[in-house]
Amino acid sequence: MQRDRLRRTARKRRRRLRRLGLVSVAGLAGTTLAVFALGKPGPSRATASSVSHVVTLRRAPAPALPGALLIADRGNNRLLLVNQAHHILWSFPNARDIRAGRTLRFNDDSFVAAGGKAIVSNEEESHTIVAITIATHALTHLYGVPGTRGSSLGYLNTPDDAYPLPNGDIMVADAYNCRILWIRGRRIIRQIGKTAVCTHNPPTTLGAVNGDTPLLGGGLLVSEIPGHFVDHFAANGRLLWSASAPVSYPSDPQPLPNGNVLLADYTRPGAVVIMDRFGHTLWRYAPTSGPGELDHPSLAAMLPNGFIAINDDFRDRVVILNPATKEIVWQYGLSGVAGTGRNRLNTPDGMDFVPLSPGGRPEWANVHHPAAPIAPALGRALASG
């Protein structure tokens, strides 16, 4: 009997709370909450005086950018580290750097070196590779003769994608010398392709190269133009496969699980595609008009949340795409408007993902190449095509 009375009392209490509106609002997977502020005790019927306010709060969705992007703002000769809220967390050069002569020229792709102490940047049209110390802004020349293209010892011709490797070497696509180089201490220690012999016949010779993404285990992905080829080399330089990419100008191929490749089509209207090792299209984003249209995108990179960050070079912006919905969910830069102020870019031509601490500070030492593996959003996109 006592137990029955307690149950009836509990049911009455729940009914009274429902009449008052004091019941949590259940959202999807528990992500919607209700917050209440009560007034003075009142009658059993809800009135304006008995409940001061009832506010329903939805938990903020996961950020499109789960960290920060290091953007090589090539047209402005600078580097910016930008977070989800468009705040600039780090930049180079600052006013002091410029007064001291520490500047960049046509800085293209820029990547954080292992250990998080420096950034390596290829100055494409200056034909050099430099390193910037993150803490002190010291600028170090690594290879090439500034402002002079060449193919002999010490020279480069339009270097692209200068990747710092975990052992301290630099791997670079020496684009119009048609070769991939490994550089250590200002010396070339290894090469794929024959210098200035620009014919697609890997691994002996390569066409003009504009991408050389390192892979786990020491291999690499290479993109060649013309001929729009993507090549996969093993760590020892052996060619594993070569495929004609389903784009007109393949740029900066990025590895995905199961051997698939994410790459940009550097043209207008541009595209971002995922292809398999045979060159078959598995997924494609290529609007031909409107806000989503791309103009010479040079790099598409997977973020840890499965979204895709894209350098949209000639529209002066970096965007993040949800591959499942093919919607742009974040953007830095005003579409088609070059500038130097906040939320402005000029021909951004490179980027690198930098994790942030819970307090929002850059975790430079936790940057790794290649990027994070596939995430659920991209898995759904591939399933739907």
DSSP state letters, 26-39: --GGG-EEEEEEE-
The answer to whether residues 295 and 268 touch, using CB atoms and an 8 Å cutoff, is: yes
Cα-Cα-Cα-Cα torsion 299, 303, 307, 308, nearest 10 degrees, comes to 0
3-state SS, residue 81 = strand
What is the C-alpha separation between 185 and 7, in angstroms, rounded?
Answer: 79
Q: Which residues contact 235 (CB under 8 A, 6 or more apart)?
A: 217, 218, 219
The answer to whether residues 78 and 70 touch, using CB atoms and an 8 Å cutoff, is: no
Q: Which residues contact 232 (CB under 8 A, 6 or more apart)?
A: 219, 220, 221, 222, 239, 240, 241, 242, 259, 277
Strand 51-58 and strand 68-73: the pairing is unpaired
Closest of 185, 203, 182, 186 to residue 194, by C-alpha: 203
What type of residue is 182? Answer: W
Both tokens assigned to 327: 């919607």
The answer to whether residues 82 and 68 touch, using CB atoms and an 8 Å cutoff, is: yes
Other CB atoms within a 10 A radius of the CB of residue 288 amount to: 10
What is the C-alpha separation between 341 and 334, in angstroms, rounded?
Answer: 11
Domains of the chain by range and CATH?
2-58 (no CATH), 68-384 (2.120.10.30)
Q: Which residues contact 14 (CB under 8 A, 6 or more apart)?
A: none
What is the C-alpha separation between 333 and 314, in angstroms, rounded?
Answer: 11
DSSP 234: -
Long-range contacts of 230-233 (CB under 8 A, 24+ apart): 230/261, 230/263, 230/275, 230/279, 231/202, 231/206, 232/259, 232/277, 233/192, 233/202, 233/203
pLDDT in tens, the chain (385 residues): 444 554 555 555 444 434 333 333 233 233 322 222 223 233 333 333 333 333 333 344 578 999 999 999 999 999 999 999 999 999 999 999 999 999 999 998 999 999 999 999 999 999 999 999 999 999 999 999 999 999 999 999 999 999 999 999 999 999 999 999 999 999 999 999 999 999 999 999 999 999 999 998 889 999 999 889 999 999 999 999 999 999 999 999 999 978 899 999 999 999 999 999 999 999 999 999 999 999 999 999 999 999 999 999 999 999 999 999 999 999 999 999 999 998 999 999 999 999 999 999 999 999 988 654 444 444 444 444 5
φ, ψ for residue 187, nearest 5 deg:
-125, 140
Beta strands in 185-244 (DSSP E): 187-192, 208-214, 220-225, 229-233, 239-244
pLDDT value, residue 23: 33
The reported pTM is: 0.81
DSSP 126: G
Give the side-chain half-sphere CA count within 13 A for 300.
29
**Torsion sign (Cα): 205, 210, 126, 219:** negative
Q: How far is CA 42 from CA 11, 27, 49, in A?
A: 20, 29, 8
Distance of CA 4 to the CA centre of its chain: 61
pLDDT value, residue 11: 54
Looking up tokens 């996109």 gives 381
Cα-Cα-Cα-Cα torsion 46, 49, 50, 55, nearest 10 degrees, comes to 90
pLDDT value, residue 385: 52
What is the C-alpha separation between 126 and 144, in angstroms, rounded?
Answer: 9
Q: Provide the greatest CA pair distance for the chain.
A: 98
